[in-house]
């Protein structure tokens, strides 16, 4: 019986692998992608990067304006994440099994979060461009919606995982709903919540860079501008600044995580 099960499981794995292999062959055929040409053009690209894509002395004079744009992007990511985290906390309390107020609100909150989460930030930006045009508001709202959906979901899971037993204990003492939320649920979940927020700040700085190309704001706009005017040295400086920023942010958030967890 259990041997049968294992054989069945293994043959299933094999089927999935064969299926995936077939899919990638079919995709390569349909798009007429030739892996050899792909590899060669990759090498060509590397050669071009080495020849043109590095900052020179003149491009350094652009640094102050690039840093200004960078600040815009970073601040927008942090603002969108923070506002989204506050709203998500509220929704997640309504949506988690252990902290729900009633089933109707729970369903409402879960489906809203699921809907928002499944639309990526870039798609949000495209939709919002129609309403708000190329502005930081478009970028901010795009980040806000996708972050809000994601954080609602993970906060719900955090509440359900970490707090059922202490909620029961506080209920038994005669504590009210608000008291239980503030005295048990939030204190127990806060480190995890902050950790998820930091993760979203990192993700959002990456996304905001791409969104900036679309919305004409922030560091993404700087890159698009230099790139289109064929100022590759300045464009490469932008890329370096972005990479360094992401590394620094990741270092800081890892440090914060170590302290709070």
Partner 1 sequence: MSLLTVKGVSKHYNERIVALSDVSFAIEPGEFVVIIGSSGAGKSTLLRCINRIVEVTSGVVTFDGLDVGSLDKRELRKMRTKVGMIFQHYNLVNRLCVLENVLHGRLGYKSTWAGALGIYSEEEKAQALRVLRLVGLEEQVYQRCDQLSGGQKQRVGIARALLQDPKLLLCDEPISSLDPNASKVIMDYLKKINTELGITCLVNLHQVHIALAYAERIIGVKRGRVVYDGLTEHLTAETIHDIYGSEAGDLLLGSGGNHVG
220 close to 142: Cβ distance less than 8 angstroms = no
Select 64 or 174, whichever has its Cβ closest to partner 1.
174
**CB 173 → partner 1: shortest distance, Å?**
5
- d(CA 153, CA 192) in angstroms, rounded, equals 13
Residues that bind partner 1 (CB under 8 A): 165-166, 168-176, 178-179, 181-184, 187-188, 190-191
Pick the closer one to partner 1 by CB: 109 or 163. Answer: 163
Nearer Cβ to partner 1 (34/168): 168
Helix (H, G, I), strand (E, B), or coil: what is residue 150?
helix
Residue 99 Cβ vs partner 1, minimum distance, rounded to whole Å: 14
Min dist. Cβ of residue 249 to partner 1 (A) = 26
DSSP 183: I
Alpha-carbon distance of 119 to 125, in angstroms, equals: 10
> How many beta carbons lie within 10 A of that of residue 205, not counting itself?
24
Closest to partner 1 by CB, 2 vs 176, is: 176
Per the CB < 8 A criterion, the answer to whether 219 and 72 are in contact is yes
Nearest approach in angstroms of CB 94 to partner 1 is 17
Q: What's the min distance (Å) between Cβ of 260 and partner 1?
A: 10
How wide is the angle at C-alpha 246 spanned by C-alphas 43 and 52, nearest 5°? 35
User: Cα(19)–Cα(13) distance, rounded to whole angstroms?
Assistant: 10
Q: Which is nearer to partner 1, 30 or 178 (CB)?
A: 178
């Amino acid at each position: 019986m259990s041997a049968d099960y294992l054989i069945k499981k293994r043959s299933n794995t094999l089927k999935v692998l064969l299926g995936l292999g077939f899919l990638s062959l079919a995709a390569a055929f349909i798009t007429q992608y030739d892996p050899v040409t792909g590899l060669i053009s990759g090498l060509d690209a590397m050669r071009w990067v080495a020849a043109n894509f590095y900052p020179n002395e003149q491009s350094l004079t652009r640094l102050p304006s690039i840093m200004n744009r960078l600040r815009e992007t970073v601040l927008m990511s942090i603002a969108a994440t923070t506002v989204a985290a506050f709203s998500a906390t509220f929704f997640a309390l309504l949506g988690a099994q252990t902290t729900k107020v009633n089933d109707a609100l729970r369903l409402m909150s879960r489906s809203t979060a699921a809907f928002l989460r499944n639309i990526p930030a870039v798609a949000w930006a495209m939709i919002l461009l129609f309403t708000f045009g190329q502005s930081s508001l478009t970028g901010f709202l795009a980040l806000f919606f996708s972050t809000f959906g994601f954080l609602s979901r993970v906060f719900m899971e955090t509440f359900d995982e970490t707090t059922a037993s202490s909620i029961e204990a506080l209920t038994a003492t005669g504590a009210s709903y608000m008291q239980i939320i503030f005295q048990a649920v939030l204190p127990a979940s806060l480190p995890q919540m902050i950790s998820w927020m930091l993760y979203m700040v990192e993700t959002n700085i990456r996304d905001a860079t791409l969104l900036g190309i679309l919305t004409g704001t922030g560091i993404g706009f700087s890159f698009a501008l230099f790139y289109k005017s064929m100022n590759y040295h300045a464009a490469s400086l932008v890329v370096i600044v972005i990479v360094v920023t992401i590394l620094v942010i990741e270092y800081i958030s890892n440090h914060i995580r170590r302290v709070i967890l």
